[in-house]
Amino acid sequence: MSPKRNFDSNGNASVPPQENGFNGSFSLLSSEKAVQELIQQPLDRGIDDHLFEFSEALRTVAKALRRVAEGKATAQAEAAEWKRKYELERERNLQLEQKVLSDEHHRECDDKKENKLAAGPVLSDEAAEESHRCCGKNDICSHEVLRNGELDSNCNTVQSKMMRKASFKLSWWCKGDKSDQHKHDIVSFEKGNITTAERSSKQIALKWESPPKTVLILTKPNSASVQILCAEMIRWLKEQKKLNIFVEPRVHSELLTESSYYNFLQTWQDDDEILLLHTRVDLIVTLGGDGTVLWAASMFKGPVPPVVPFSLGSLGFMTPFYSEHYRECLNSIIRGPISITLRHRLQCHVIRDAAKTEYETEGPMLVLNEVTIDRGISSFLTNLECYCDNSFVTCVQGDGLILSTTSGSTAYSLAAGGSMVHPQVPGILFTPICPHSLSFRPLILPEHVTIRVQVPFNSRGHAWASFDGKDRKRLSPGDALVCSMAPWPVPTACQVDSTSDFLRSIHDGLHWNLRKTQSFDGPREQHDLDKSS
């Protein structure tokens, strides 16, 4: 109902006084006060509260999604690992069955070879073919007799001199013959190949059971001083030690151009002969720096003969011998026993996203220092998902990642912030390159693990993998790199022992902790005061 109105003489409506008095003025004042409070109140406080609650809800959802993604990735990695173990076990069982079946064939080969040797001093083509079938492509039986001499392309000419590959054994190293430490053989070889099933941080000694007969000399290229030393060393080894000498094709052609005296040198023609080189070489001598040692290791995809590295480079952590005393060093090594360092290598495979099984891989690639996964020329950060066996490690965001051996801990990994590690410490270094998080610190993982680095499908760019600085491969989204410890180490001879050589290398090469001795600022003795007065 509308309020009662009165009309004046002019016909205008007016409100009665009792209704337009105190009550009306009070309601007006209340309205103005409410409007003033509304004006003074911040308009976005309620909005901020809602936005904060919404952002918290989004964070909760993101955490849940990440846990789901990690669980899915872990389950996939676990399933792939179980599948890989199953396939390996099945392959191992098949190999055992084949080995049992081939034992009789080996005995037949032994009888045939003895008959051939009794008939003549040189292996016939038929016997060599039977030996190849018996022993496989990359191995050699302990009884196999190798031919000495340079072979032509048709393998028609062989020398009549016979030789056997030198055998040796490894044992725990003891300082002094009267040491109370228990000595025992850890492995004995007739083939002259080193394969380690279990590692140890103890010092290892190599003792020849038969003297070495063949030596491979590898040199740093484009160096006149190295070329002169190589020619002098070859002449001494041939005339004084009566050794058979292998050199690279490049060195072989250079020396033959210089003089026809070097016709006795042996070399190889193709990669197939390099694969069988470990069956003929007893000792490797490198003339150069660490790069020459890396080159020597890269030539052998399986067992590696002992390496004697001479320092002729700018910086060497694996070259303890000085070239000025090469005669004394080689005399001591050929006579034996010698202390060696087993430098373990990483075995890497690349699995493409298009691969149907885990066994459709590229590789293996063997590295003595490190494998590096970086962003290449891309302007985007790398995005790498890392797994250790069945466990999710982290997602690397930065310039890249280094997976290094302990021998490579003083190389790229050290420059990226990793620690220096003794080369006989069993482990794999996990070092980020310029990570986007300050809390991302390097790790050292046990040697028995398998590391899987995968480029996720939502990565903004490609990644690039390099192996000891060579053979760069592009990793597209969905591709993965799998690394584990290789069973074939690189045995390098020590001048003293592995620990002394390692400490000397970081002192001489890096000038580690080199500083002036702190000055003495304490009270002087009385006799010093008397002298000064």
**Could you tell me if 321 and 299 are in contact, meaning their C-beta atoms sit under 8 angstroms apart?**
no
Quote the distance between the C-alpha of residue 203 and its chain's center.
Answer: 22
Tokens representing residue 158 in the block: 């062989």
Q: Residue with structure tokens 């020590």?
A: 494
Give me the count of residues in the chain.
Answer: 533
Distance separating alpha carbons of residues 193 and 141, to the nearest angstrom: 11
Tokens representing residue 319 in the block: 């070259």
Tokens representing residue 437 in the block: 């998080």
Smallest Cα–Cα separation from 317: which of 336, 333, 341?
341
- 204: which strand partners? 172, 340
Residue tagged active-site, from 282, 290, 374, 468: 290
Distance separating alpha carbons of residues 346 and 364, to the nearest angstrom: 10
Q: If you write DSSP's letter for every residue of 146-173 in order, what string do you get?
A: EE-S---TT-----S-EE----EEEEE-
Distance separating alpha carbons of residues 235 and 423, to the nearest angstrom: 34
Q: If you write DSSP's letter for every residue of 60-107 in order, what string do you get?
A: HHHHHHHHHHHHHHHHHHHHHHHHHHHHHHHHHHHHHHHHHHHHHHHH
Rounded to 5 degrees, φ, ψ at 185 are -75, 135
Rounded to 5 degrees, φ, ψ at 519 are -70, 155
Smallest Cα–Cα separation from 212: which of 148, 168, 146?
168
Contacts of residue 292, Cβ cutoff 8 Å, sequence gap at least 6: 218, 219, 220, 286, 309, 312, 313
> For this structure, is 290 an active site residue?
yes
Q: If you write DSSP's letter for every residue of 287-312 in order, what string do you get?
A: EESHHHHHHHHHH-SS----EEEEE-
Distance separating alpha carbons of residues 343 and 4, to the nearest angstrom: 109
Question: Which residues are catalytically annotated?
Answer: 290
